[in-house]
Structure 1
Amino acid sequence: MAVTNSLTNNNFPGVAALLEVMRRLRDPETGCPWDLKQTLTSLIPYTIEEAYEVAAALTEGNTDDIKDELGDLLFQVVFYTQLTGEQGLFDFDQVAQQTADKLIRRHPHVFGDTTAQTDAEIKQQWEQIKQQERADKGADESVFAGIPANLPSMLLAQKLQKRAATVGFDWEHLAPVLAKIKEEIAEVEEELERTNPSQDAIEDEIGDVLFAVVNLARHAQVNPEHALRRTNLKFKQRFQAIERRLAKQNQRAEDLNLEQLEAEWQRVKQQTQSD
């Protein structure tokens, strides 16, 4: 491609080529009409979609898909910085430099003279530096300052719990975490068994269960979003295996009752566990 060939002298020719492609797409006279219509806010849904597609590709493990989806997500960053550059705010290089500076600042055990070694020490140091950065910016003094309210609920729960833990509001062992889940499940059961259960109360109690499970994942050093994504993929693959088995018998899932489907599920489960 001519654009790529003309930029190969750059230390990062791929990045330079992508930036030039973006510039051409936004050219007021010769650019793409769709790209010219976009704004910082109109791109938000596409960015969220691309982030989820990256996560899906990483979960499924196809190298070509991972590279492709990472490229799509990188293009979102390039698009945003093209728009901010046009507005005289900042460009791609400034974003990259600021991020590099931030990472250096937050890793003094690598780039400085501190001696943090264990994961716990590094995490504590990271949080202390972030807290100081928020204070320097004059941010809200709340422990939750800077956490976006519109994060996906599971990620938000995890971040709220981690921040509360930085000031000591956390259990030190798994036993009370597990006990809390059992307690919350019992409260769901209690509400469901009422003569006239309240849907609002049921939703509230189930939310408490989910929040407690996220807490368990955090204490077990498991990312709850990753764990649920793996389970979603596993469920999908197993049910699709059932559909394939049935198709060979000229049957469909809707032709079977729940007991028969459960039997098929167990067969597929045993097969996948033995593979």
Structure 2
Amino acid sequence: MINNERLAETVRGLVELVARLRGPGGCPWDAKQTDATIKIYLIEEAYEVLDAIENGSPDELCSELGDLFFQVLFLCQLSAERGDFDFVRVVEKITEKMVRRHPHVFGKANVANAEEVADNWNRIKREENGQSESFSSQLMSVPGNLPALLRSHRLSERASKAGFDWKSAGAVWEKVEEEFHELGAAVSAGDSNGVSEELGDLLFSLVNLARFWNTNAEELLRMANRKFLRRFKRLEKVLNAKGIGMKEATAEQMDLVWEEGKARGE
């Protein structure tokens, strides 16, 4: 259970620290920052939080969440200096929003399952934003700055709610095969523009195949990246143990070590 006095003291202390960094006699680097310069750090810290979650380290997660929270407070300080809003208003608004979007908890609404909760959430969100009930407007509201694979997942997910979807995972697989053959034709023709377009179509189809198998292509590619890094690290370690540097190793030597690692499930 969080101690309320400790909560208030620690949050106030960090808010005051950020203000001091930005104020007279503070840090010259922090004083120069703007929303535009800080946004990239916000994204980086968010991804470091994801890494910490995937690494399963509570200490690392605690540290990275702190770094992310600092970026949020920094942006609040910039806005407060302009007279737009402050951290208190941010907390007030998100509290009001969560209460409003959970009428089954804080109101009298009844829901039968998690799907009805999600439907209510989306309806209330549209009402808040003054969006029309059209499915096109719902697709347009998917943030453009999302990672491309995740955005494709969200777009196709919302299109599915309009009935625009494949009937089965098998039908999606047929679409994947179709796009693969079209990519092959573009490659054979030496059509660089066609290759680019067909690669995009194939990726979009693969995103939907993942969705039909109740997973997310963004997460799958993150997992594949981690696996590649793990195997590459092993490859270099094994070659070095044999007195072979990466740049001196032949393709055959690298392939042999790589396949040995795969066979062991590493």
Pairwise same-fold verdict (TM > 0.5): yes
- Whole-Å separation in 2 of the counterparts to 1:48 and 1:56: 13
- Whole-Å separation in 2 of the counterparts to 1:42 and 1:137: 34
Aligned residues of 1:135 and 1:141 also touching (Cα < 8 A)? no
Aligned residues of 2:166 and 2:172 also touching (Cα < 8 A)? yes
Q: For 1:266, which of 255, 259, 264 is the aligned residue?
A: 259
In structure 1, give the amino acid aligned to 2:50: A
Query: Residues 85-130 of structure 1: CA distance to partner in whole angstroms, max 9, x if unpaired?
Result: 1111111121122112222222223333333343333332322222
Alignment TM-score, normalising by the size of structure 2: 0.89
2:156 is paired with a residue whose SS is: helix
Name 2:211's counterpart in structure 1. Answer: 218
Name 1:25's counterpart in structure 2. Answer: 21
Tell me whether 103-112 or 83-92 shows the greater mean CA deviation.
103-112
2:154 is paired with a residue whose SS is: helix
Query: Residues 13-44 of structure 1: CA distance to partner in whole angstroms, max 9, x if unpaired?
Result: 322221111111111x2211111111111211
Aligned residues: 263
Tell me: CA distance 1:136–1:185, structure 2 relative to 1, closer, same or farther (3 Å): closer
Tell me how far 1:201 sits from its aligned partner. Answer: 0.9
In structure 2, give the amino acid aligned to 1:239: F
Query: Residues 239-275 of structure 1: CA distance to partner in whole angstroms, max 9, x if unpaired?
Result: 11111111111112333333332221121123335xx
- Whole-Å separation in 2 of the counterparts to 1:89 and 1:168: 42
Tell me: CA distance 1:186–1:270, structure 2 relative to 1, closer, same or farther (3 Å): same
Alignment TM-score, normalising by the size of structure 1: 0.86
- Whole-Å separation in 2 of the counterparts to 1:69 and 1:49: 10
- Whole-Å separation in 1 of the counterparts to 2:69 and 2:187: 47
Aligned residues of 2:126 and 2:132 also touching (Cα < 8 A)? no
Q: For 1:207, which of 200, 205, 208 is the aligned residue?
A: 200
Tell me whether 87-96 or 102-111 shows the greater mean CA deviation.
102-111
Aligned residues of 1:242 and 1:264 also touching (Cα < 8 A)? yes
- % identical aligned pairs: 38
1:15 pairs with 2:8: no
Aligned residues of 2:150 and 2:216 also touching (Cα < 8 A)? no
Aligned residues of 1:51 and 1:73 also touching (Cα < 8 A)? yes
Instruction: Give ranges in structure 2 of 5+ residues lacking alignment.
Output: none
Q: For 2:165, which of 149, 170, 180 is the aligned residue?
A: 170
Aligned residues of 1:59 and 1:230 also touching (Cα < 8 A)? no
In the TM superposition, what are the counterparts of 1:51-66 in structure 2 within 5 Å? Answer: 51-66=46-61
In structure 1, give the amino acid aligned to 2:22: R
Tell me: CA distance 1:139–1:155, structure 2 relative to 1, closer, same or farther (3 Å): same
Tell me: CA distance 1:139–1:44, structure 2 relative to 1, closer, same or farther (3 Å): farther
Name 1:47's counterpart in structure 2. Answer: 42
- Whole-Å separation in 1 of the counterparts to 2:16 and 2:218: 36
Aligned residues of 1:81 and 1:90 also touching (Cα < 8 A)? yes
Tell me how far 1:174 sits from its aligned partner. Answer: 1.6
In structure 2, give the amino acid aligned to 1:241: R
- Whole-Å separation in 1 of the counterparts to 2:233 and 2:160: 41
1:42 is paired with a residue whose SS is: helix
- Whole-Å separation in 1 of the counterparts to 2:167 and 2:50: 31
- Alpha-carbon RMSD: 2.4
User: Quick check: which one's helix share is greater?
Assistant: 2
Tell me whether 224-233 or 116-125 shows the greater mean CA deviation.
116-125
- Whole-Å separation in 2 of the counterparts to 1:14 and 1:148: 33
- Whole-Å separation in 2 of the counterparts to 1:95 and 1:22: 16
- Whole-Å separation in 2 of the counterparts to 1:272 and 1:13: 49
Aligned residues of 2:236 and 2:246 also touching (Cα < 8 A)? yes
